[in-house]
Amino acid sequence: MKFLDIKTDFAFKKVFGSENSKEILKSFLNAIIYNDRTHKIKDLTIIDPYNIPMLKGMKDTFVDVKAILDDDTKVIIEMQILNHEGFEKKVLYNAAKNYSMQLNKTEEYYLLNPVIALSIVDFIMFEEFNKIISNFKLLEKKEFINYNDDIELIFVELPKFTKELQELTNIQEQWIYFVKNAGSLEYIPNNIDEEIKKALQNANEASMSKEELETQYKRKEFISIQKLAISKADKEGFSKGMAKGLEEGKAEGLKEGLKEGMKEGMKEGMKEGERLKAIEIAKNLLDVLDVEMIALKTGLSIDEIKAIKI
């Protein structure tokens, strides 16, 4: 058997955002969010469900699956593969936006329902501690008194999870293992929860159409290229910083030069990343729009788009 890599936007949406994913998503959220709480999710409604045409046009390496719980709490589940400047602010912005958009101008504030932003990330966010799951709320700085529980940010850092299949002790660990390792499994393990087995069946490549498999392949290729672009930017920035620092001949010059070089290298890498995004979008539009319209929508030149068509 071969399974999708759940860390890609296409696979994550298919497993957790499909019409038949309700029980799977409920099990996942109960394990990750409500594992140590008295109340569990009894029911939920998946909004913005998975569909292939929508995924084809995606230009980011993240995807949102949104759920409304039976107490009207909104949960935004996001899988983020690549770290980038401002990601923490983006998570907070999305949570605040979903919170504020609940009301019309004439409605009262007490009608606002809680929003939970759950971000599963494939990179280290918090070097300060080894916790895999971290939870953030509004608290008084010295007394740690809750101001309000209506906005909650939860992060799952996959690189911090290092357990193997035989070491898993509870359903929370099983779900984290599934998200991190599904793409490398060759069979459905017997000693895991039934909903995780269903999730693996959803991710089984043998049950997918040619169009779905092609979409998954393109997404993985696109993400790999972006990772290489960021890595290249880091290396170029380091080299430029070292060169500038050595030219100054002083420790302070080395420090400042390294900082400037990293900034310059990252800027170049981000530009390359944006160009790669535009190329990916252009590829998906080739059979839909003419060359001039694709150029207008992506910012690429007509010659670049013609070269893609060849």
Strands (E), 145-300: 146-157
pLDDT of residue 53: 47
Please check whether residue 250 is in contact with residue 219, taking contact to mean a CB–CB distance below 8 angstroms. no
pLDDT of residue 104: 80
pLDDT of residue 72: 87
pLDDT of residue 230: 55
The pTM score is 0.68
Please check whether residue 34 is in contact with residue 41, taking contact to mean a CB–CB distance below 8 angstroms. yes
Ordered by start, the domain boundaries in the chain are: 9-207, 211-309
Burial annotation 92-104 (CB, 10 A radius, 16+ → b, else e)? eebbeebbeeeee
pLDDT of residue 60: 42
Beta pairing partners, 62: 80
Strands (E), 23-61: 44-47
pLDDT of residue 21: 87
Beta pairing partners, 151: 115
Alpha-carbon distances of 190 from 10, 69, 167, 170, 291, rounded to whole Å: 26, 30, 14, 14, 51
Q: How far apart are CA 306 and CA 310, in angstroms?
A: 7
pLDDT of residue 247: 60
pLDDT of residue 59: 42
Q: How far apart are CA 284 and CA 218, in angstroms?
A: 10
Tokens of 305: 């788009």
pLDDT of residue 231: 56
pLDDT of residue 54: 46
Q: What is the pLDDT of residues 137-148, one digit of tens each?
A: 999 989 989 888
pLDDT beneath 50: ranges in the chain = 53-63
